Amino acid sequence: MRIWYILLMYSGILAVSAEVFSLLTSGVVIGGVGIFFAVKEKAKCLVYECCEDVYLKHNFGRMLKQLREEVFGQHLVEVDIWNSIVAHWKNSDPEKPLVLAFHGPTGCGKNHVSRIIADNLYTKGAASSFVHTFIATVHFPDKNKVSQYQKTLREKILEAGKKCGRSIFILDEVDKMPERLLETVKPFLDYYDKIDGIDFRKSIFIFLSNRGGDEIANMALSQYMNGKPREGLVLHDFERTLMHKAFVEEGGLKHTNIIKNQLIDHYVPFLPLERRHVVLCVHQFLRTRFKDVAEKLISSSNFMNEVLNSLQYFPQDSKVFSSSGCKRVAAKTQLEVFKLQKPSQTAGNHITEAASVEVREDDAEEEETPEVEETVELEENHDSQKENDDV
């Protein structure tokens, strides 16, 4: 009897030991699997963009510098947009996403500012996979497919949010979007901790629209005609008007709960550009595209006037503002440079920096001396020169 008892106890000990060993083994296996996937994920981030600090390197100083030096005539952008972006990005626990609405006429910098923001919030800049752009005429062209577009837009936003909670969503041509489309975006802008398990509160949504452009232009013109600097205009002067226009006029925000529920944080007006601002756009283009002769062309009032006079201005009686902002500056400036090139260097039907550009000097001394054409020789381009020799 004692022997059977001892055998029974011994078998029990073996069973318990086996169970403990099994648990320990399972723990090691599970822990090993966890470590494997963690290491695998880190290794993946060495090759692909991940929602980690290494890919979320912001540069607020450079952003402010670019807004000051590359965006002309938009003092409200420099002050209000930059501050709102920095405040939101540094907030570790925001109540909701930052929602901005950019309003204004074409060519005044709405898209350029959006790009500057993206370029300075991510290591890969605007090319980051965390920057998502939706364009009305590209992604939502058919007003009869609103339900389909709503489903697609919702899925894409959820997918993006799951990938990174610090995403930027840029919705361009909002005034051309079908009505009710943006209602599907409303929950993502609201005061929810999570939607389908995804936290969107650190995200940024930017709406771009031409809606309200006439009202913005009228206010800027009134300021100009009264002899007051446009820099005296403040955000508060425009917000109520822009909110109203977006709500009652045709477009993606018409009668939406986004506006009713006050989910847009800032309505930012982009003012129409005066001739002096267009001059700065021409300077910037020349210094970027034609570095070797930029200063010579800039100093030529004849050349500058040719470019500026090729654009249209409004209103008809005073012609204070550029009708297209800076949108057509590149094409018009390049055309005038092309006209200055020697015939032999335009045989290839393209412009190169290797061409010689003839610039007429038109200063005060021109009246006393015969007109002189000065040829500015640029650095030669070997391939282009060879082609010219063959011709």
Read off the pLDDT of residues 184-193 as tens digits, 9 standing for 90 and up.
999 999 999 9
pLDDT tens readout for residues 223-258: 999 999 999 999 999 999 999 999 999 999 999 999
> Are 117 and 250 contained in the same domain?
yes
Q: Which two tokens stand for residue 247?
A: 């709500």
Least Cα distance to 138 among 111, 102, 166, 176 occurs for: 176
The answer to whether 118 touches 131, Cβ cutoff 8 Å, is yes
Residue 328: pLDDT band with limits 50, 70, 90: very high
Which range is most confident: 30-39, 289-298, 371-380? 289-298
The residue type of 108 is: C
CA distance 291 to 303: 16
The 10s digit of each residue's pLDDT in 340-351 is: 986 655 555 555
Q: What 3-state class would DSSP assign to 200? A: coil
Q: Which of 335, 363, 362, 359 is nearest to 349 (CA)?
A: 335
Model pLDDT, residue 178:
94
If asked whether residues 154 and 224 sit together in one domain, one would say yes
**350 shares a domain with 259:** no
CB atoms closer than 10 angstroms to residue 131: 22
Q: Token pair of 47, please?
A: 């090759």
pLDDT higher than 80, residue 11: no
Q: Are residues 226 and 343 in the same domain?
A: no
CB 198 within 8 A of CB 161: yes
Do 63 and 120 touch, CB atoms closer than 8 A?
Answer: yes
CA–CA gap between residue 129 and residue 242 (Å, rounded): 31
Give the distance, in angstroms, between the CA of residue 132 and the centroid of all CA atoms in the same chain. Answer: 10
Q: How many CA atoms lie within 13 A of 339 on its CB side?
A: 13
Does 239 share its domain with 322?
no
Clarify whether residues 346 and 201 are in a common domain. Answer: no
Residue 361 — left, alpha, or beta (φ > 0 → left; ψ -120 to 50 → alpha)? beta
Residues 6+ apart with CB under 8 A from 51: 130, 163, 164, 165, 166
Q: Is residue 15 part of a domain?
A: no
Q: Do 250 and 280 have their domain in common?
A: no
- Is 43 inside any structural domain? no
Q: What CA–CA distance (Å, rounded) separates 87 from 89? A: 6
Q: Identify whether residues 256 and 116 lie together within a single domain.
A: yes
**What are the CA-CA distances from residue 384 to residues 38, 86, 120, 380 (Å)?**
54, 47, 37, 8
- Find all residues with CB under 8 Å of 242, minimum gap 6, and list them: 101, 103, 211, 212, 215, 216, 267, 269
Give which of 168, 157, 166 is closest to 99, Cα–Cα: 168
Per-residue pLDDT, averaged over 328-344, amounts to 89
Q: What is the mean pLDDT of residues 352-380?
A: 46
113-137 pLDDT per residue, tens: 999 999 999 999 999 999 999 999 9
Do 242 and 355 belong to one domain? Answer: no
Q: Is 300 within a domain?
A: yes
Structure confidence at residue 79 (pLDDT)? 85
How many domains, the chain? 2
In terms of domains, do 239 and 166 share one? yes
The range of the structural domain enclosing residue 209 comes to 57-269
Q: Burial, 237: exposed, middle or buried (Cβ in 10 Å; 0-12, 13-18, 19+)?
A: middle
Q: Average pLDDT for residues 199-211, to the nearest whole number? A: 98
Alpha helix (H) residue ranges in 261-365: 275-289, 294-298, 301-309, 329-340
Mean pLDDT along residues 288-304: 97
